[in-house]
A and B are shown apart, each in its own frame.
Chain A
């Protein structure tokens, strides 16, 4: 799977939007962009995923660059419960290895009251 690059850490204030960037310049045409987050002492939690078009769900929005070489996870109004490590992961669609995720170091998001 292609590699992703994320900032080590970011900070935000409560109630403000947060934009978490991810670079994936070697992404292939069949790679989906997945975002997971991990709260302290918990397993990762699915946030959102997309292929080409921007995606929205109740947790966040995913903005994908036109060339797909980067993407941004948007938390519209950060809360203290959003403090976590956010992982951007690329994954081929289908195939026997689907579901097998390679985690990088992720971005540690700190939310200040």
Chain B
């Protein structure tokens, strides 16, 4: 079945550096992907909507210059956390909608730890 894959699954970076997380739809093309963040013992919070070939749409309170989203192809969206700080440490999850079926698939998630 359709699969959405994220890479890396875990990453540790130093404070002040940038880190990129990839989200790929493996079996289908996704014109729209979504990025969520989840802190421990909390629910998922939508950060932004990634649109292929155009600018991402960010949710209120999410800094677009800090969380750079690029959706250069129909199967790949990337989230770059710039100038990361320890408070950015979180579980980042992407999702994509399979157009023909309407089913929304999620990636496995990426743990980011900023030290």
Residue A113 CB within 8 A of the other chain: no
Residue B97 CB within 8 A of the other chain: yes
Chain A minimum-CB-distance residue to B2? A46
A to B CB contacts below 8 Å, 10 in the list: A36-B106, A43-B93, A43-B107, A43-B109, A44-B95, A46-B103, A99-B97, A101-B95, A102-B46, A106-B43
Asked if A41 and B107 make an inter-chain contact with CB atoms under 8 angstroms apart, the answer reads no
Main secondary structure of the interface of A (DSSP, over half): loop
Chain B minimum-CB-distance residue to A104? B43
User: Cβ of A100: which chain B residues have Cβ within 8 Å of it?
Assistant: 34, 46, 49
B positions within 8 Å CB-CB of A: 4, 6, 32, 34, 36, 43-46, 49, 91, 93-97, 102-109, 111
Main secondary structure of the interface of B (DSSP, over half): strand
Residue A26 CB within 8 A of the other chain: no
Chain B minimum-CB-distance residue to A45? B106
User: Cβ of A34: which chain B residues have Cβ within 8 Å of it?
Assistant: 104
Asked if B106 and A43 make an inter-chain contact with CB atoms under 8 angstroms apart, the answer reads yes
CB distance from A92 to the nearest CB of B (A): 12
Asked if A46 and B104 make an inter-chain contact with CB atoms under 8 angstroms apart, the answer reads yes
User: Contact check: which of B46, B94, B109 meets A41 at CB < 8 Å?
Assistant: B109
Given A100-B49, A103-B43, A103-B44, A44-B96 contact (CB < 8 Å): no
